[in-house]
Chain A
């Protein structure tokens, strides 16, 4: 059927009749009857899963879909011939800090009666209980994560959103509700901090889209604080659509918003933008009296989200909660919530509180930026690794593009012939704004051993300041070795000092080929996309070749990265000699550290920088739990190492990479053989500060010992 969205509006009408009208206008019965008939004829049964918005913290909250409307929809489904209709959801982040957030209990407390108005019993199912892997593409943001089997297998999949504003996304409608089918508990951690929410939603929609979407806008939740402090507004409307993204598009218009304001929804909206054939039935005027989250507050919330620890600590403190139904699990969160939630929701439509929260958010965002800059310059292992998806379609890359790569790059590598190597073996020159360079290092390791320990198709991942990415092998040889690959790489800002003036993470997507010979292996890569525009060009060749009993590694590259405005302005003023010195220094560092990483990889050591994300469904321990652990370790003499405690709270968790005690001239990290003796609190604070300064000096000195 052509995409259709119907807006049923009637002042004073009851929810059931508005739902019936919207479904009728949208052609729901005809569209679903066909699917039901197919299922019945194939299996003799037809299943339906309805996922309603349950992200509410009080009974009768307008931030949740009305249970009565959902139960009415179940009756409609049963009337169509569905034999098994259930309400499905999963535990979300709030289950980590509130009691009674299990799906069954929360549904009960929010008003689900487990029986439809027509007296048909139905089940509420936890969609995390039976999951499947290998659902999402290996190159995507959700690669390796599970999805609900019940949702995948359902003959009919439906989503019912509440109509509400949202502090993170501007609005939270069907696409936001759809995240409830993803099984990992800490939704914020796994699907917002660790991964891009827009990419997550788009991949989920591609893998298992709902067949119909409904927005319960009978009583809506508006206000400047979004779902954190929802304000009820009667809007007497139900929206029904054949496509969840289309429902969101229209829902956002009714709020008077640019639908693309939502980073969660935007990628999916671009794919479902109303086009020829789309039918929009009903009034599109904005809700009278509607209060949105102001754009500045959205930006401030985004800034805070970047500071994961702070965001996780603050959310429980700011959410308005009926603590009779959903008591806090931790007394500290209970106390903070009693203190701060009323302030954060104060004012007309929550506006005063939202402005206060926005100010705090901006401060936290700035603190995070400063911390990240410090990490880039002096403490890279404190940074979080980056996870992302491959952002080109593997099927769109042609054989011709792969086949041309080696010849294209080999001739460019010739352009350094005649350039003399400097005292440290670096050859380089400018080329149309880019830098052509190469360098080599001889490793006292037999070629076969080296190539066995360092798979050449992963060579880019061992390069200096590699912060994460995603690789997809697209071709293997007869021996199962990668010969074609697509790869998206993220690197810390280059040169690192540009982080001070807004330097961007280098984000480059590459086509790669690999050649294997008995005594030589070569990998070629060409950048085809830079999502954030950070790179103009980043092409290269890495060669491993036997040299007697040793292995010679040569790296050639052609690179041009965009400088942030401040550094670009300075760059234009630099004297040529100064600029040459800076470029040479940058590539000395790059090659020294990359070769050090390759040697470490050959020895089986982990060279990845930064700390990894937790794969646990609950993510990392909540900040309040970490703080409680720290307090338990308070020395009995009453002295408290505040600096050490704060550092421990913000630093890597147990199980993450240990901290090096120093980094030598070749970039090797040196570690303590055994845990050091417990120092005095004052000593810890002082030695921590000194260690940071020493570490900073070492890193800043780069290859200089």
Chain B
């Protein structure tokens, strides 16, 4: 099991920032490292103001040549299931990867807090990665170590790093005049 955490500070107030992360994330996919696209698969607006979202992420990381026959392009992505609080202070999320789906459990919470005297925000991203060793047994013995390393890299590094870049890109979007499509 691996815990990961990422704290990002930006010069945009917390609520507009959170709203933009929730509603406009697809617009910044092109600015993110090794991300092809982010598409909202489903959205459910709850009566209390909360939102349940499923976004599909497609990524194109540099897979080592030795693993390329094991990790095919259709595996490179995940579904991001998220449940946003009505006040936009936090969202709980769960990642459902296309690669070794049954072996990987990854979930966490993202919090948006006011900072810089209300002029900015801190976005804290915390998650946990759990890989089921028994599921890994389907992988040939000689490839288990590199496969687990690849999984750890993809999920333990790529996702938090992309979270940072996502928040910074969304803040940039707001700074250049863009407004969230759905006000909180």
A residues sitting closer than 8 Å to B (CB atoms) are 99-100, 102, 104-105, 107-109, 112-115, 121, 124, 324-325, 327, 331, 632, 636
Chain B minimum-CB-distance residue to A124: B116
9 CB contacts below 8 A, A to B, read A104-B9, A104-B11, A104-B120, A105-B10, A108-B115, A109-B9, A113-B117, A327-B7, A331-B157
**Known interface pairs A114-B116, A114-B117. Does A99 touch B11 (Cβ–Cβ under 8 Å)?**
no
Given contacts A102-B11, A325-B7, 11 further A-B contacts (CB under 8 A): A100-B8, A100-B9, A104-B120, A105-B10, A105-B116, A109-B9, A114-B118, A121-B117, A324-B7, A327-B6, A632-B62
Q: How large is the interface on B (under 10, 10 to 19, 20 to 34, 35 or more residues)?
A: 10 to 19
> Which A residues are CB-close (under 8 A) to B157?
331
Which single member of B5, B62, B119, B122 contacts A114 (CB below 8 Å)? B119
> Which A residues are CB-close (under 8 A) to B62?
632
Complex formed: what's the CA distance from A112 to B116 in Å?
8
Instruction: Assess whether B164 is interfacial by the CB under 8 Å rule.
Output: yes
Are B5's CB and A108's CB within 8 A? no
> Which B residues are CB-close (under 8 A) to A100?
7-9
Complex formed: what's the CA distance from A331 to B149 in Å?
14
Are A105's CB and B9's CB within 8 A? yes
Instruction: Assess whether B65 is interfacial by the CB under 8 Å rule.
Output: yes
**How many whole Å from B116's CB to the nearest CB in chain A?**
5
Q: Contact flags (1/0) for B116-155 with A, using CB distance below 8 Å?
A: 1111101000000000000000000000000000000000
**Known interface pairs A114-B116, A636-B65. Does A108 touch B7 (Cβ–Cβ under 8 Å)?**
no
Complex formed: what's the CA distance from A109 to B9 in Å?
8
Are A102's CB and B116's CB within 8 A? no
Complex formed: what's the CA distance from A115 to B114 in Å?
14
The 3 lowest CB-CB distance pairs between A and B, nearest first, are A114-B117, A105-B9, A108-B115
**Known interface pairs A324-B5, A325-B7, A327-B7. Does A104 touch B116 (Cβ–Cβ under 8 Å)?**
yes
Which single member of A108, A121, A327 contacts B122 (CB below 8 Å)? A108
> Which A residues are CB-close (under 8 A) to B117?
113-115, 121
> Which A residues are CB-close (under 8 A) to B115?
105, 108
**Known interface pairs A114-B117, A115-B117. Does A102 touch B9 (Cβ–Cβ under 8 Å)?**
yes
> Which B residues are CB-close (under 8 A) to A105?
9-11, 115-116, 120
Are B7's CB and A107's CB within 8 A? no
**How many whole Å from A113's CB to the nearest CB in chain B?**
6
> Which B residues are CB-close (under 8 A) to A114?
116-119
Complex formed: what's the CA distance from A115 to B119 in Å?
11
Complex formed: what's the CA distance from A109 to B10 in Å?
11
> Which A residues are CB-close (under 8 A) to B122?
108-109
**How many whole Å from B132's CB to the nearest CB in chain A?**
25
Complex formed: what's the CA distance from A107 to B5 in Å?
20
Are B120's CB and A108's CB within 8 A? yes
Complex formed: what's the CA distance from A121 to B116 in Å?
10
> Which B residues are CB-close (under 8 A) to A632?
62
Complex formed: what's the CA distance from A113 to B119 in Å?
11
In B57-105, the 8 Å CB interface with A consists of 62, 65
> Which B residues are CB-close (under 8 A) to A108?
9, 115-116, 120, 122
Complex formed: what's the CA distance from A632 to B157 in Å?
18
